[in-house]
Amino acid sequence: MSEEENEISALPEAAPTVRRERKPAARAHTAGFFTRTAQFLRDVRSEMRRVSWPTTNEVRNTTIITLIAVIFFALYLFGVDRIWAFLIEHLRSLLGG
């Protein structure tokens, strides 16, 4: 055997993974609608506190970049459309259409 084969055969084999079914909490089924709704809202509030919110300056800058990109592509597509319309119209007139 070569050295590479020895190194490969010396590696331990991965143990098979065992899937365990996760059982739902018992209180989730017994809790009422309003209790679950209140817990959901508390969880939402907790997660919203962890969010990394952009600064006003970041929002303004990305909004300006987005508007510039939209205007640029709108003008570009308008120009391409006008050129194709011009070419097709002249082609139709040349062919007697």
Per-residue model confidence as pLDDT tens digits over 18-47:
777 776 665 556 679 999 999 999 999 999
pLDDT of residue 4: 56
How many domains, the chain?
A: 1
37 assigned to some structural domain: yes
Confidence of residue 96 (pLDDT cuts 50, 70, 90): confident
36 assigned to some structural domain: yes
1 assigned to some structural domain: no
2 assigned to some structural domain: no
Range of the domain at 56: 23-94
pLDDT of residue 38: 95
9 assigned to some structural domain: no
Rounded to the nearest angstrom, the gap between the alpha carbon of residue 41 and the centroid of all alpha carbons in its chain is 24
Model confidence, pTM:
0.51
70 assigned to some structural domain: yes
